[in-house]
Amino acid sequence: MQENRIDIGGTRGRFRMMLSRRGVMTAAIASAAVALGKMSNTPVVQAAPTNIQSESTTFESSTTAIVKNAGGPSIALYVENRTGGGDAIDAISSANIGVNALGITQGVLGSSNAAGGVGVYGSNGAAGSNGLGVYGVASGQVAVWGNSVSNVGLLGTSGGTTAVFGQTSAAAAGVKGESVSATGTGVFGTCNGGNGVLAQATSGTGVFSTTGSGTAIVGRSTTGKAAEFIGNVEITGDFTASGMKSAAVKVADGTLRRMYCLESPESFFEDMGTGHLDGGNGSVTLEPVFASTVKTDSYQVYLTPEGDCQGLFVESKSPTGFTVRELMGGKSSVSFAYRVVAKRADITGERLAPVKMALNAGPNGAAQRVIPQHEVTLPPTPPAPTLPGGVSPR
């Protein structure tokens, strides 16, 4: 018969128990009970049960119970509960770590085949405690890894605060989401009434999005606003809208009324002002800053006399201004208003240029962007394990 040794430490020295193959299981359970049992002043060792199906037996010791595997690839401690309703091991500590395991590959490996079971369950139920249910640390690799073949890899739930919190002290991301699928999403947030995704920054950028060839940010709403900006907005590049562009202006009764933008088939700038005829002759100098923004080799001038005369016309135009004369050689001295319209100098605005927009026709012809649909099946909250003595971890 093959023999296995289990050394159990105590203040009075160590003793050895020679066990058969069948006794290994029961001795292992006994040793685990020693580590979890109630502490007393004098080490007490009770004989291990000889029947693996026997009722539980309590072991008490004031020192550490040690289960060793002196060598070889076999398991040092294996505990199994075949009743189908209880826990294999319950590790409880009132002031420190419940389980401390060190392994070359896995320190702790938890597995459950039940539909609603839990592979590893960590809990800290102390009121007002700043402790942790599960704490993972790594010097150079991943501290906590969640992986699922067909569902959520890592799920965080909370009844009163943040479900998942990421923090970094280096020049890295607090939370990073990545998808290797062409139709996947790196980070996906949903909310029934609040914010799906909330970003805050005290002095930097709240949200920074970049893309090589796609769209950096897409906002969509079926009945509300696709986007809302409270503060100044800067756009570097072209601005295109399929709907109207307008300004909200407060009127005398305090309400806001919409004032629409004047559109044209080409890109124009315009300036307006007043001039004066003296003996039927007048001249206007273009404001230098305005003149630097437009093409002054060809521009339009519209005149409106503000007094009785025979009419006005533009006699000549130059890059710096224009001259005005009264019709039919008149010699009137009256004021006039003018409006200058010129093409922008910094861009070439194609007349009625065709536009390509990433839009699909929605209800009643309204434009809308098709977004990927995400279906995530969240698992139910795992049941709390039954701990010895009626203690609940929650």
Distance CA(356)–CA(146), nearest Å, equals 42
Q: Across the chain, which distance is largest between two alpha carbons, in Å?
A: 133
The token pair that represents 173 in the structure block: 């991301």
Q: Which residues pair with 323 in a beta bridge?
A: 283, 316
Residue 342 CA: distances (Å) to CA of 66, 90, 129, 273, 321: 91, 82, 70, 15, 12
Return the sign of the alpha-carbon dihedral for residues 230, 233, 238, 243: positive
- Catalogue all structural domains in the chain, each as residue range(s) with its CATH number: 1-148 (no CATH), 268-344 (2.60.40)
Q: Which residues pair with 248 in a beta bridge?
A: 258
pLDDT tens, the chain, 394 aa long: 444 444 444 433 333 333 333 444 444 444 544 444 444 444 444 444 444 444 455 656 666 667 766 666 667 677 777 766 667 777 777 667 777 777 667 777 777 777 767 778 887 776 665 677 788 888 878 888 888 887 888 888 887 788 888 888 888 888 888 888 877 888 888 888 888 888 888 998 999 999 888 888 888 888 888 899 999 999 998 888 888 999 999 999 999 999 999 999 999 999 999 999 999 999 999 999 999 999 999 999 999 999 999 999 999 999 999 999 999 999 999 999 999 999 999 998 899 999 887 655 455 555 555 555 555 666 666 666 665 555 555 4
Q: What are phi and psi of 224, to 5 degrees?
A: -105, -145
